[in-house]
């Protein structure tokens, strides 16, 4: 069994090598540790090994974990789907939301963001492959939505998030990521001050960094494999195989 600290170290090394290969400065890429289904102890271990940004998909699970870890200065990213009736949980308990795909959700998050907190950082989820199994807006819809979201007072539009379909090899992964990168670049050319391109996971972080990712969301390579059935099945993390 490899410790979370050792696996984190290995992921950081992969990021470093990918940045070197892409001739990009290493500090351009943030590591988000995706801790869904793992219990608070796993996050404590990761934090002790220097990790402070965590991504969660299931809102109730995340809120419970955050309460259990309130003594640690962690940053919480919502990377799961946001239903209209769950926006308040995100507005009140998270620092970032990566999965904005319609204006109504963004408006609710903005209205519900508590005044005592800084604005919620958000990314718009992009679906460049028009994949029916994935959420997200098409490249054509991205810029109009981005302009609307950028005007909302309770939010700060930070950029674009992308989840590709699994692809067979580095070249195929990179080709899809480059399409997300192109859409992100168009936002910047349109004058939107975005700085975050959230793409790359355990299996494709090298290709994502080669295509310009600034934030990789890595779960399995840090915490091990998640038990099938996933949602809410919080595990005793240290013994988790993978």
Ligand X SMILES: *Cc1c(COP(=O)(O)O)cnc(C)c1O
- Binding residues (CB under 6 A) for ligand X: these are 34, 36, 57, 79, 163, 201-203, 217-221
Cβ atoms 90, 109 nearer than 8 A: yes
Write down the least CB distance from residue 205 to ligand X, Å: 8
Could you tell me what percentage of the chain is helix, strand and coil, using 3-state DSSP and rounding each to the nearest 5? Answer: 45, 20, 40
Write down the least CB distance from residue 34 to ligand X, Å: 4
Q: Considering the complex, state which of residue 57 and residue 173 has its C-beta at the smaller distance from ligand X.
A: 57
The residue number whose beta carbon is nearest to ligand X equals: 219
d(CA 126, CA 119): 22
Write down the least CB distance from residue 99 to ligand X, Å: 7
Q: Considering the complex, state which of residue 95 and residue 144 has its C-beta at the smaller distance from ligand X.
A: 95
Q: Considering the complex, state which of residue 221 and residue 234 has its C-beta at the smaller distance from ligand X.
A: 221
Write down the least CB distance from residue 41 to ligand X, Å: 18
d(CA 226, CA 236): 11
Write down the least CB distance from residue 120 to ligand X, Å: 17
Q: Quick one: which H or E segment has residue 162?
A: strand 155-162
d(CA 122, CA 88): 15
What DSSP string runs through 163-203?
A: -PPP-SSHHHHHHHHHHHHHHHHHHHHTT----EEE---TT
Q: Considering the complex, state which of residue 30 and residue 220 has its C-beta at the smaller distance from ligand X.
A: 220
Q: Considering the complex, state which of residue 154 and residue 164 has its C-beta at the smaller distance from ligand X.
A: 164
Q: Considering the complex, state which of residue 4 and residue 34 has its C-beta at the smaller distance from ligand X.
A: 34
**Token pair of 229 as six digits:** 């059935």
Write down the least CB distance from residue 198 to ligand X, Å: 8
Q: How far is CA 91 from each of CA 141, 162, 182, 195, 197, rounded to the nearest angstrom?
A: 24, 21, 29, 21, 21
Which ranges of 49-117 does DSSP label H, i.e. alpha helix?
A: 59-68, 87-93, 103-112
Q: Considering the complex, state which of residue 24 and residue 134 has its C-beta at the smaller distance from ligand X.
A: 134
Write down the least CB distance from residue 23 to ligand X, Å: 25
């Amino acid at each position: 069994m490899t410790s979370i600290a050792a696996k984190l170290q290995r992921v950081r090394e992969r990021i470093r090598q990918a940045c070197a290969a892409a001739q990009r400065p290493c500090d351009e890429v943030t590591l988000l540790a995706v801790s869904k289904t793992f219990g608070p102890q796993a996050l404590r271990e990761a934090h002790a090994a220097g990790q402070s940004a965590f991504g969660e998909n299931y809102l109730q699970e995340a809120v419970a974990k955050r309460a259990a870890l309130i003594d640690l200065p962690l940053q919480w990213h919502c990377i799961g789907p946001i239903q209209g009736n769950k926006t308040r949980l995100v507005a009140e308990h998270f620092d970032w939301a990566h999965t904005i795909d319609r204006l109504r959700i963004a408006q609710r998050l903005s209205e519900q963001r508590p005044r005592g907190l800084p604005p919620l950082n958000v990314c718009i989820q992009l679906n460049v492959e028009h994949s029916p199994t994935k959420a997200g807006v098409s490249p054509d819809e991205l810029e109009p939505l981005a302009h609307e979201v950028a005007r909302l007072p309770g939010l700060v539009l930070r950029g674009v998030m992308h989840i590709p379909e699994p692809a067979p090899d580095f070249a195929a992964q990179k080709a899809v990521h480059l399409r997300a990168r192109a859409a992100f670049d168009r936002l910047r050319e349109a004058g939107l001050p975005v700085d975050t391109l959230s793409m790359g996971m355990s299996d494709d972080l090298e290709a994502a960094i080669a295509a310009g990712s600034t934030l990789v969301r890595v779960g399995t390579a840090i915490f091990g494999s998640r038990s099938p059935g996933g949602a809410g099945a919080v595990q005793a993390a240290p013994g988790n195989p993978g």
